[in-house]
Each structure stands twice: as structure tokens, then as C-alpha cells.
Structure 1
């Protein structure tokens, strides 16, 4: 399911867009002001497939917010909606790191086409990368990168364990699930290899300042919890 962060201060337009996107099968989190956006950035509790960003949010120029958004979601596609529909404006935003730009007013069909295209692009990227909180996992290199810092290479089993745990943040994975997904039939259920790898992975995440917290639910299993990141945005209000 698509998970979309919709940043739009026009309440009527936001409601219409949310209805349209839900009909497309998406889950939508609407945000109507900078304070709400700042709260989401600081908590970093959700991961998104797409961010739809209004060009002007109250008196705030959202062009200035893009770098801060990228600190939390470095690879999530951003689609900007704006009445400032000039070639220079589009060029500036694309160079800043925005993925697409749609001038207002627009047809619903065009918005949905852009959303689908960006989602396909993100899905292809997800085959090699996954961003969770402030951490980007590189499936090809077995590395984790934190907010544009250098990459940290994890041992293979630690990385595969983290990959499985981050498939659904907050979901509790049983010991049996994790053994099967990472080691297959190579390890007996009585082995303590999972617990040892969990300990090492937890230390690795703490050492590289990841916002991913590896936790356990006694007698049930293990899960990833997102801790608050340092990202924030400035409000002019």
C-alpha cells in the first residue's frame, strides 16, 4: 500500500486530494502547517512512499524546507504542487532535490499519473535501497548510511536480520520467523546464534547513531522502533 504524506494548507483541496488518493488505494497522512510537519520530522515515526508538498505553506516557502525533509527521508520522492508555474521555478526545485512538479490548477488524472510514475520509480529503487528513519539500507553493499554520513558495512547476517526487521517497522517478528528468514534450515531452533546476532546488531545501530532501536517483547519476539531524529524545520509563524 502506498503511504503518502500530504502537506497542503488549503483544507478543501487537501480533503479532495486525500479522497482521490485513498480511492487509488493509498494511506494518506494530511499535514496543514509547518508545526505539524516539524512534529513528524522530529519523531520520524512513519515511513512514506511519496511526499506531496504544497509550494507555499501559510507564510512559509517550502523550498526552504526541502533540505530538512531530505535529512529525514533522503530517498522518498517529493511532488511539489504550486501556482508558481514557470520554467525557472521548476528548474530551481528539481535542482534542489524535488522529484516532480505539478502546476495548479491541475486535472485529477494528471496528479494520479504523476503519483503512479513516482511510485513505480520508488519501487524500483526499493529493490536496492530502503530508508527507515534516518537510516538508508543498501541491499547490494550490506551497508547502512545515516543522514548523508559515510556508510557503515554490517556483517552479512546482521544486515539480513535488519533487512527483515525493517520490512514492517513496529511489527514483532518471532524467533522462528527470524531464524527461517536469515539462516533458513542451517541453524537448529535451540541455537543461540539469533540472540548473539541481535546483540551485535543492536551495538552496531547504537554506534552509528541510527534512529532504529532494536527491541524485544519477552517470549514473543523482536521489533524495530523508530526513535526521534534531530531533524527539524523552521516556522515563520
Structure 2
């Protein structure tokens, strides 16, 4: 197995000139890079590593498995890996920004390699800050992605897998309002058809479990006619 060092970046890009240029700039800034040019090789490559890379630069249009599918798979199986999508299709931008795909950021082609380095630094900084926040103690709400559990003031909320995923998605973007449809996409990876009332039911159960620990705090709020948001107290 190959060993992945700290600040390693996997570049998934089928245009060799672009990949080489980006790799040169990243390596010049102290990153270790690896390059793949076919979508079908990405998941097997991940599985062959002792540890995943810190960041994936993932082209949207790839031969074999496309970038959107890979983004979902990587986020589901390696949730702490940061992902920046590369795209030449401006019409995909709104979809890329949605957390239903799991991307942390996107860059439209053509782009400056210096911009890629700057975005990489920013995304990795946010990712590490989020990891630190998740493990700062037992006086707040802490998620353990590896164990799929949530702790409130040190008490296990005993969430189901669906409830954990629901909470995780909203905590990823405090203050952002998620529609029921967006939440459904996260809750059920097999894209099954469920009613919006099913989402409401899961949110209700999640809120009750949180209220059992924090009866005076409302951190998951309803936005009438729109959906739900995670709003931590200041």
C-alpha cells in the first residue's frame, strides 16, 4: 500500500496539461500530489491507500464514473476528505454548491493555478477547524463521524443512521435553510421515494432527543414553507 502524507492532494483530471500544471503549483506550495485520469480508478485507488488524501480536486466530466457520482461516494465513505469540484459547465454550479453532493467548493474552468492553491488552502483550513470543533470537549454538541454518534454535553443522543445524517448535514452549514427535498437526498442514498412528511417525522424525533438533554435550547428550527436549519446559540 502507498502511504499518503499530510497535506496530500489527489487530482482527478483527464486533461494531462491541466493536471500537470495544477500539480506543479501545489507541489511548489508544499503539497504532495497524486494524479488519476479515469473515473473508474478513483474508488479502487482510495481503497488501496493506508490513509485517504486530505483533499481531492475532482473534475466533473471524466471518462468512466463521472465526478458527481464520485463526489457522493467519497463523501459517504470518507467523510473527512475535502473535495473541490472542477467544472467547465457553468450550469452545474448551483448543483455543485448544494451539500447534497458533498462538495466543499468548486472552481470553474478556465482557472488560474494560483487560485486552485488558494482555494485548497482555504478548504483545508475550514476542514481542520471543523474537525477541531467536533472534538473540543463535552460541553456542546459533538459529532463522531467514524462512530456515527452524536453527544450533547457528554450524553449519547442514540440517533438512528438517518437522524445522524440529518443532523450532520445541517451542522455542516449553520444557519443554512435546507428544503425537505434536499434533506431527503441525504437521508436516503438509494434515492427512494418518500413523502415530505417522512422528513418532518425524522426531524421531530431528532429534536425530541436533543430536547431530552437540552430542554431549553432549540438548535434545529423550522422555517415556515421552506424547511429546516441548524442554528447554534451564540
Normalised-by-shorter TM-score class: 0.5 to 0.7
Where does residue 127 of structure 2 map in the other structure?
Answer: 122
Structure 1 CA distance for aligned equivalents of residues 143 and 26 of structure 2: 34
1:110 to 2:107 alignment:
no
Of the two, which has the highest radius of gyration?
1
Where does residue 95 of structure 2 map in the other structure?
Answer: 92
How far 1:143 moved relative to its partner?
A: 7.3
How far 1:108 moved relative to its partner?
A: 2.0
Change (3 A) 1:71 1:107: same
How far 1:15 moved relative to its partner?
A: 1.3
1:52 to 2:60 alignment:
no
Count of residues in Structure 1 that have an aligned counterpart in Structure 2 = 143
Residue number among 137, 140, 143 corresponding to 2:137 in the alignment = 140
Describe the superposition over 1:82-141 as per-residue Cα deviations: whole angstroms up to 9, x where unpaired: 11023xx11212212211111110112222221121122122123235xxxxxxxx4535
Structure 2 CA distance for aligned equivalents of residues 145 and 66 of structure 1: 17
Structure 1 CA distance for aligned equivalents of residues 66 and 102 of structure 2: 15
SS in 1 for 2:71: helix
Q: Calculate the TM-score normalised by the size of structure 1.
A: 0.53
Where does residue 32 of structure 1 map in the other structure?
Answer: 37
Is the Cα–Cα contact under 8 Å of residues 4 and 51 in structure 1 kept in the other structure?
yes
SS in 2 for 1:47: coil
Is the Cα–Cα contact under 8 Å of residues 49 and 122 in structure 1 kept in the other structure?
no
How far 1:44 moved relative to its partner?
A: 4.7
How far 1:59 moved relative to its partner?
A: 4.5
Change (3 A) 1:6 1:140: farther
Is the Cα–Cα contact under 8 Å of residues 41 and 72 in structure 1 kept in the other structure?
no
Q: Which runs of 4+ in 1 moved over 6 A?
A: none
Where does residue 180 of structure 1 map in the other structure?
Answer: none
How far 1:71 moved relative to its partner?
A: 2.4
Higher relative contact order (CA 8 A, sep 6+): 1
1:16 to 2:21 alignment:
yes
Structure 2 CA distance for aligned equivalents of residues 121 and 143 of structure 1: 16
Structure 2 CA distance for aligned equivalents of residues 61 and 28 of structure 1: 21
Structure 2 CA distance for aligned equivalents of residues 70 and 143 of structure 1: 16
Change (3 A) 1:143 1:84: closer
Runs of 5+ consecutive residues of structure 1 not aligned to the other structure: 130-137, 153-237
SS in 2 for 1:66: helix
Structure 1 CA distance for aligned equivalents of residues 65 and 41 of structure 2: 13
SS in 1 for 2:128: helix
Is the Cα–Cα contact under 8 Å of residues 53 and 81 in structure 1 kept in the other structure?
yes
Alignment of structure 1 residues 1-237 onto 2, 5 Å: 1-86=6-91, 89-95=92-98, 96-129=101-134, 138=135, 140-141=137-138, 144-146=144-146, 149-150=148-149
Change (3 A) 1:45 1:100: same
Runs of 5+ consecutive residues of structure 2 not aligned to the other structure: 1-5, 152-234
